[in-house]
Amino acid sequence: MSKILIVGEHTGGQLAAGIAKVVAAARKLGEQIDVAVFATDGKAVAEQAATIEGVSKVLRVDRPENEHGLAAILAPQIAALVKAGGYSHVLAPGDTFGKDVLPRAAALLGAEQVSDVMAVHSPSSFDRPIYAGNAIVTVEVGGGPCVVATIRLASFNAAGAAASSAPVEAASTDAALPKHTRFVKLASQKSARPDLQSARRVVSGGRALGSAEKFKEVMEPLADKLGAGIGASRAAVDSGYCASDMQVGQTGKIIAPELYIAVGISGAIQHLAGIKDARTIVAINKDPEAPIFEVADVGLVGDLFQLVPELTQKL
């Protein structure tokens, strides 16, 4: 029987939206699904986790050291909970939090990790992307202490709300926590726009935008009109047109919006890796040979500086 532990990522008193997707993946593995919330005071977050359909129990691990969700601090606690609870599976979202913390826990447990699970065939068989999503490999996991996996959020629909809340229990571990890592600061640009990973619509700008000013001037009105999140290619981020957390692709964010509009983006394989699950892809590019048109559902060839303002106006 599978017994699953999910690392309940949270920030600012809010459970991460991705957790409901991880729960959806977990439900394909088994029925005993516990969410662990590591916080200084995890009451509010634990209560949010308890309302996700399919969650059996929420474990609340309150410790002052948990304030910043550092991998070095969380990993020993995760490993200790897994051992004490006899869990067969440990899951986390495949975002930068999960990618940072889960392999550290896996190594402490002596387990290999399956990264970016996109489909669950059985409790020991999974699909995951390799080579920027240009190949999908089915892996069998066995012979280790437990199965450790991060979940590719773009591949799962969020579990719904439960009819009644699951119980929340206080839990503690005797894990010794290191002091070698200190949080200094987090610089985040607060934006009223929808978060890229959960946005229904995303518009992205590439190198062709030419400057931070133009990026803003062309992309923001379009995003405003559509109520869309704004993404970017690596070239746009590297050139300083926008913030690094806006990068979409193999090494940026993997997204699955209903509508994706790529503006002045050539469509390098590393970029395409991030948008394969978008329902409708629109490309605006002046080069009819640009690879982005090979994946676009609707392509429009021409100068973005003319076409995008026109599109914005006509929406």
Partner 1 sequence: MKALVSVKRVVDYNVRIQVKPDGSGVATDGVKMSMNPFDEIAMEEAMRLKEAGKLSEIVAVSVGGPKCEETLRTALAFGADRAIHVTTDAQTQPLTVARALAAVFKQEDAKLFLLGKQAIDDDANQTGQMVAALLDCAQATFASKLELDETKVTVTREVDAGLETLEADLPAVVTTDLRLNEPRYLKLPDIMKAKRKPMKKVALAELGVEESTQLKSVKTVPPPARSKGVTVKSVDELVAKLKEKGVL
Ligand X SMILES: Cc1cc2nc3c(=O)[nH]c(=O)nc-3n(C[C@H](O)[C@H](O)[C@H](O)COP(=O)(O)OP(=O)(O)OC[C@H]3O[C@@H](n4cnc5c(N)ncnc54)[C@H](O)[C@@H]3O)c2cc1C
Query: How long a stretch of residues is the chain?
Result: 315
271 binds, among partner 1, ligand X, none (CB under 5 to 8 A by kind): ligand X
- The per-residue DSSP string of 254-269 comes to ----SEEEEES----H
User: Would you say 137 and 86 are in contact if contact means Cβ atoms under 8 Å apart?
Assistant: no
Residue type for position 299: G
CB of 94 to ligand X, least distance (A): 14
Q: Lay out the site mask for ligand X across 276-315 (x = CB under 6 A, - = otherwise).
A: ---------xxx--x------------xxx----------
CB of 246 to ligand X, least distance (A): 10
Quote the distance between the C-alpha of residue 157 and its chain's center.
Answer: 12
Hey, which residues between 68 and 97 contact partner 1 (CB under 8 A)?
70-72, 75, 95-97
266 binds, among ligand X, partner 1, none (CB under 5 to 8 A by kind): ligand X
Based on the shown chain and the rule CB under 6 A, indicate whether residue 233 belongs to the binding site for ligand X: yes
Based on the shown chain and the rule CB under 8 A, indicate whether residue 300 belongs to the binding site for partner 1: yes
Kindly report the backbone phi and psi dihedral angles of residue 24, in degrees, each rounded to the nearest multiple of 5, phi listed first. -60, -40
Query: Which CB sits closer to ligand X, 128 or 234?
Result: 234
Residues 125-163 as b/e (b if ≥16 CB within 10 A, e otherwise) read ebbbbeebbeeeeebebeeeebbbbbbbbbbbebbeeee
Helix/strand/coil for 286: coil
Query: Which CB sits closer to partner 1, 217 or 245?
Result: 245
Based on the shown chain and the rule CB under 6 A, indicate whether residue 272 belongs to the binding site for ligand X: no
Residues at the site binding ligand X, with contacts judged by CB under 6 A: 206-208, 233-236, 247-252, 264-266, 268, 270-271, 274, 285-287, 290, 303-305
